[in-house]
Amino acid sequence: MTTGTDGPRLVELRTRRHVARLRRPWGPDVGVNHVLEVTVVDSTGATGTGFSWTPSIGAEAVHALLEHDISAAVVGGPVDPEVVWPALWSRLHEAGSGGLTTIAMAGLDLALWDLAGRRSGRSLVDLLGARRAGVAVYGSGVNLHYPLEELVAQARRWVEAGFASVKIKVGGPDLAVDHERVAAVRAVIGPERGLMLDANQRWDLATATAAMAVLEEHAPAWIEEPLRADDLAGHAELRRRIATPVAMGENLHTVYRFRDALDLGACDIVQPNVVRVGGITPFRSIAALADERGVALHPHLLPEISGQLALTLTRPCLVEEVEDASLTALGLLADPPPVVVQDGELRVTGSPGLGLDFSGALVGASGRPA
């Protein structure tokens, strides 16, 4: 990759794997989140910290990409993330344009942005340019497997916490049960709060069409990933059939796929995940594309980073907080955290760089301290 001759060089990349147990499992096979902490050191001795993340599978592969291919490609080169990212993506493209490759790249990209912030003494928000002091947060749950009473109790907690919008999962085998659950949550949160639905790719086109004909009674603000994320044409057809806005993007990995989705008319709302797309550098390109097309953008998960980016976006958006599943709630970050959420609004604490200080309580796959 291009290295250039001026400025500090990257002299070290090291990783640590954290396996954090979810207090509220996301299902029988998703009881942990895998977080790969990435630390970079430049030739002046300055350091930066980022992370790659995956909730279920692929952590070993991501770790291997960071330890071998990525480290070999970038050590000795520049530390400017906007120079490093495109050259590294081109090098890794043979292993896949997105998915494992971009998830791994995110760890490096976030660490390089953190390095830039720490070296300048500025937070990420100040580095990119703040456009607002706070951003609205919505309560979110991976809760399709919750009994109805537990789902209702969760919705009540979100109301008590001051969230103006909430999101729940749909897509169970019985549409009548989905309808009952959506109706119960709408009754708890009232008509004034936003209610978003997320099918997590569980439906086909015919099922989604039939389901939304029933669920639209409860005025959902959007339906998220109703179909397999790869099926952009199917999403475009569903969007023509239903009144509810269609949201997608957590499983799109490159700016080209986001552009394809918008060109095909597949969605009204894009939801890039800052790690899955490869970090802050490509996230900003996707945000610029959304601005250019006049499409709403609401970042997916990871409020410690998504919330900071939201404060720098041209237009206001909503930040997602899954109950008990942020890096802070998982016990991975030492105080102070980079963001705080109070009365449904996220603000930053002003820590230099990304403000990520992993606690050091490293946990192995067995759940025992490593």
In the DSSP assignment, the letter for residue 26 is S
> Identity (one letter) of the amino acid at 344?
G
Catalytic entry in 18, 63, 169, 235: 169
Distance CA 212, CA 282 (A): 33
Task: Please name the residues in contact with 315: beta carbons below 8 A apart, sequence gap of 6 or more.
Answer: 291, 296, 297
Task: Please name the residues in contact with 150: beta carbons below 8 A apart, sequence gap of 6 or more.
Answer: 143
Q: Are 249 and 300 in contact (CB under 8 A)?
A: yes
In the DSSP assignment, the letter for residue 77 is S
Residue 169 annotated to the active site: yes
Task: Please name the residues in contact with 37: beta carbons below 8 A apart, sequence gap of 6 or more.
Answer: 15, 16, 17, 18, 49, 50, 51, 107, 358
Query: Which has the closest alpha carbon to 110: 244, 306, 252, 291?
Result: 306
Angstrom CA distances, 233 to 90, 98, 228, stand at: 27, 20, 11
In the DSSP assignment, the letter for residue 348 is E
Q: Are 53 and 36 in contact (CB under 8 A)?
A: yes
- Return the SS3 of 41: strand
Determine the length of the chain: 370
Distance CA 275, CA 304 (A): 12
Looking at the DSSP bridge assignments, the partners of residue 239 are: none
Cα end-to-end span (Å), the chain:
35
Q: Are 313 and 131 in contact (CB under 8 A)?
A: yes
| CB-count exposure of residue 343 (10 Å: 0-12, 13-18, 19+) | exposed
Which residues participate in catalysis according to the annotation?
169, 300
